[in-house]
């Protein structure tokens, strides 16, 4: 009976331990390696909200291309607030309606490509123009076994998996190190996986995240087994410990 009880305790303690091979990052890093992570360029998609600012030495010449949004008082017809630069929502056709120029197809283009396109369209009207484009609603959703899950607004177009995991406070010790990523594409939702334990993640098409990606961190098997076990396990361990102590005393 004593041997069985000790075996029971040993199995429980062993099952609660997590091997470092399941939690450590970059386990296959044995020597200096180089990975090409510079070729990524974010492409705009439908429902992206863009801020487009046109500037020039001649401010009056580019004024028609920068339509402000202002609030007017009904009684005094006066401006009640600070003028706000107009933003452009890429519609279901992948287009925006731009002042003077008309419709522009922006979905599928990078920021540099959009700047080149708008510059060429405006050049017949104004020779010296500078175009600045920024996405305003770039967000990533992080859910699952992290310290601070949530929706994070990204101000940089080049965001890595590490950046959003850092924003979420990193994985909990019970978080699975193979991360699942859901991504919206023209063909539908695709699912990708990144293994944080391997340096191969740097070559993954999911290493750089895109707007509206969902990053899901699953609980590891130890945590799932613990959650599904009997809630009275702790009580059973205490009773078993007392029982073993009593047997030890009585058999002296």
DSSP calls for 47-108: T-EEEEEEE-SSHHHHGGGS-EE--B-TTT--B-S--EE-EEE--TTSEEEETTTEEEE-TT
**149 and 209 fall within a common domain:** yes
The token pair that represents 153 in the structure block: 């607004």
What is the SS3 assignment for 212? coil
Question: pLDDT of 184-227, one tens digit each?
Answer: 988 899 999 999 998 888 989 999 999 999 999 999 866 555 65
Nearest-angstrom CA–CA distance, 137 and 89 = 10
Tell me whether residue 44 is in a domain. Answer: no
**146 and 75 fall within a common domain:** no
Question: pLDDT of 80-109, one tens digit each?
Answer: 556 666 799 999 999 999 999 999 999 999
**11 and 56 fall within a common domain:** no
Q: Residue 207 is part of a domain; what is its CATH number?
A: 3.10.560.10
**77 and 106 fall within a common domain:** yes
Q: How many residues does the chain have?
A: 252
pLDDT value at position 123?
94
**104 and 165 fall within a common domain:** no
Domain range for 128 is 49-135
**Which ranges of the chain does DSSP label H, i.e. alpha helix?**
2-15, 59-62, 111-122, 161-167, 221-228, 233-250
Matching residue, tokens 């609603």: 137
Beta carbons within 10 angstroms of residue 217's beta carbon: 24
**119 and 179 fall within a common domain:** no
Helix axis angle, 2-15 to 233-250, nearest 10°: 150
Contact 203, 170 (CB under 8 A): no
Nearest-angstrom CA–CA distance, 114 and 122 = 12
Q: Would the pLDDT of 12 be above 80?
A: no
**170 and 157 fall within a common domain:** yes
Last residue of a domain, one of 99, 119, 135: 135
Last residue of a domain, one of 115, 135, 155: 135
Nearest-angstrom CA–CA distance, 54 and 57 = 11
**75 and 121 fall within a common domain:** yes
Question: pLDDT of 54-86, one tens digit each?
Answer: 999 999 999 999 877 666 555 555 555 566 667
Write b or e for each residue in 63-89: b if 16 or more Cβ atoms lie within 10 A of its Cβ, otherwise e: eebeeeeeeeeeeeeeeeeeeeeeebe
**148 and 93 fall within a common domain:** no
Q: How many domains does the chain have?
A: 3
Contact 21, 220 (CB under 8 A): no
**118 and 169 fall within a common domain:** no
**103 and 181 fall within a common domain:** no
**146 and 209 fall within a common domain:** yes
Q: Would the pLDDT of 176 be above 80?
A: yes
Tell me whether residue 119 is in a domain. Answer: yes
Tell me whether residue 206 is in a domain. Answer: yes
Tell me whether residue 114 is in a domain. Answer: yes
Last residue of a domain, one of 135, 150, 172: 135
Tell me whether residue 196 is in a domain. Answer: yes
Tell me whether residue 11 is in a domain. Answer: yes
């Amino acid at each position: 009976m004593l041997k069985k009880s000790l075996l029971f305790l040993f199995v429980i303690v062993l099952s609660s331990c997590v091997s470092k091979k399941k939690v450590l990052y970059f386990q296959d890093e044995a020597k200096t390696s180089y990975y090409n992570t510079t070729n990524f360029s974010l492409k705009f998609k439908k429902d992206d909200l863009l801020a487009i600012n046109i500037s020039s030495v001649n401010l009056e010449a580019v004024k028609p291309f920068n339509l402000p949004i202002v609030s007017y008082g009904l009684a005094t017809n006066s401006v009640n607030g600070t003028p706000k630069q107009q933003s452009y929502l890429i519609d279901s056709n992948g287009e925006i309606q731009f002042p003077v120029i008309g419709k522009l197809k922006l979905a599928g283009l990078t920021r540099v490509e959009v700047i080149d396109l708008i510059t060429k369209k405006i050049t017949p009207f104004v020779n010296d123009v500078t175009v600045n484009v920024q996405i305003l609603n770039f967000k990533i959703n992080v859910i699952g076994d992290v310290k601070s899950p949530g929706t994070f607004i990204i101000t940089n177009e080049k965001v890595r998996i590490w950046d959003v995991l850092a924003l979420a406070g990193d994985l909990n010790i019970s978080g699975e190190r193979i991360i699942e990523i859901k991504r919206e594409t023209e063909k539908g939702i695709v699912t990708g996986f990144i293994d944080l334990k391997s340096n191969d993640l740097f070559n993954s098409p999911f290493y750089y995240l895109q707007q509206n990606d969902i990053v899901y961190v699953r609980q590891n098997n130890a945590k799932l087994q613990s959650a599904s076990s009997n809630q009275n396990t702790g009580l059973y361990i205490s009773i078993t410990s007392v029982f073993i102590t009593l047997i030890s005393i009585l058999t002296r």
